[in-house]
């Protein structure tokens, strides 16, 4: 019976020792893919998000977060394939879970354990919607079939989904500003499971098929150089062997919303547990003496 009671106490103490936080993320989001395979942070766009973090112990945390931002890609900016002359922009909405592992012990409100680097990995659902603006008109590329999606000539090219799984991973640092306010810096990449963040993946389709079944305007969206260089049917428009990525970097502000472990900071954990257990034992002799 003593062992059961002690185990129950340890379990309750562990739960009470948890720390809960709400956080705000302010930073920038950028794209890497067929239109920019080399340069991180190129055409970075503003991004904002929030999260709830649950500290499992002084080394491990989990959080649920959401981010709202945007990405851009442009052949004229990256200079990787300037003769292709493709460009796009897209909003990005991501939601999911993150696991954090700190390099050192970290306890909110503690003077001793107030700073640490950390690594993180997780899984997200990401929604995107590539578009391009020509003149005063904005074209949402997903519904236009710029690579022959939806045409009878390319039955194997199905319209792609605007929602994809992504795997975020990266690093950061965090430290206590006050007893309940934390400040951090974070950087991470998102490996997606789509090659269509940029609406570019496979080979150029037959422009006559596109014009007939999807419309003349789609021909110029599929190949902006068609009027000058003619058909590129069958040549690579993108690299279908790789998936698209995007990254995020920025500032993180966190507010502690619950902490029942502060009584432990000035006392060793073993001493605190022993004192509490003895008090429990004195108050419940009829249980412990059985």
pLDDT digits (tens, 9 = 90+) for 238-276: 999 999 999 999 999 999 986 554 444 444 555 555 565
Please give the pLDDT value at position 208: 96
* Residue the block writes with tokens 């999260």: 51
| Residue 199 maps to a domain | yes
| Residue 284 maps to a domain | no
Q: Of 61, 68, 72, which Cα lies nearest the Cα of 24? A: 68
| Residue 281 maps to a domain | no
Which two tokens mark 184? 């951090």
Please give the pLDDT value at position 14: 41
Cα-flanking dihedrals φ and ψ of residue 182, to 5°? -115, 150
| Residue 189 maps to a domain | yes
| Residue 139 maps to a domain | yes
| Residue 283 maps to a domain | no
If one counts every other C-beta atom within 10 angstroms of the C-beta of residue 234, the result is 10
**Cα–Cα dist 54/229, whole Å:** 57
What residue numbers bound the domain in which 25 lies? 19-259
What count of Cα atoms within 13 Å lies in the side-chain half-sphere of residue 47? 32
| Residue 154 maps to a domain | yes
What is the chain's pLDDT, residue by residue, as a tens digit (290 residues)?
444 444 444 444 444 445 899 999 999 999 999 999 999 999 999 999 999 999 999 999 999 999 999 999 999 999 999 999 999 999 999 999 999 999 999 988 788 889 999 999 999 999 999 999 988 999 999 999 999 999 999 999 999 999 999 999 999 999 998 888 999 999 999 999 999 999 999 999 999 999 999 999 999 999 999 999 999 999 999 999 999 999 999 999 999 986 554 444 444 555 555 565 565 555 555 444 55
The number of domains in the chain is 1
**Cα–Cα dist 17/107, whole Å:** 10
**Cα–Cα dist 216/207, whole Å:** 9
pLDDT digits (tens, 9 = 90+) for 123-142: 999 999 999 998 899 999 99
User: CA torsion sign, 100 to 103 to 107 to 108?
Assistant: negative
Please give the pLDDT value at position 270: 55
Please give the pLDDT value at position 273: 55
| Residue 138 maps to a domain | yes
CATH code: domain of residue 32: 2.40.160.20
């Amino acid at each position: 019976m003593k062992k059961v009671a002690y185990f129950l106490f340890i379990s309750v103490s562990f739960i009470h020792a948890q720390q809960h936080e709400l956080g705000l993320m302010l930073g920038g989001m950028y794209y890497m893919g067929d239109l920019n395979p080399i340069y991180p942070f190129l055409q970075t766009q503003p991004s904002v998000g929030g999260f709830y973090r649950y500290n499992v112990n002084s080394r491990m945390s989990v959080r649920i977060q959401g981010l709202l931002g945007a990405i851009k890609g442009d052949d004229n900016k990256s200079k990787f394939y300037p003769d292709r002359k493709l460009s796009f922009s897209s909003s990005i909405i991501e939601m999911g879970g993150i696991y954090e592992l700190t390099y050192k012990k970290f306890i909110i409100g503690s003077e001793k354990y107030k700073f640490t680097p950390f690594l993180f990995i997780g899984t997200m659902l990401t929604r995107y919607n590539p578009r391009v603006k020509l003149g005063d008109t904005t074209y949402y590329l997903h519904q236009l079939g710029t690579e022959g999606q939806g045409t009878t000539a390319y039955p194997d090219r199905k319209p792609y989904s605007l929602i994809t799984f992504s795997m975020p991973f990266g690093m950061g640092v965090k430290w206590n500003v006050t007893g309940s306010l934390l400040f951090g810096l974070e950087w991470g990449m998102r490996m997606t499971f789509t090659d269509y963040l940029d609406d570019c993946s496979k080979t150029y389709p037959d422009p006559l098929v596109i014009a007939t079944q999807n419309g003349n305007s789609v021909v110029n969206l599929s190949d902006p150089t068609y009027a000058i260089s003619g058909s590129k049917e069958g040549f690579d428009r993108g690299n279908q062997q790789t998936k698209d990525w995007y990254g995020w970097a920025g500032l993180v502000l966190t507010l502690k919303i619950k902490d029942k472990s502060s009584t432990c900071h000035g006392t060793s954990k073993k001493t605190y547990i022993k004192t509490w257990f003895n008090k429990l034992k004195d108050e419940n002799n009829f249980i412990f003496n059985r």
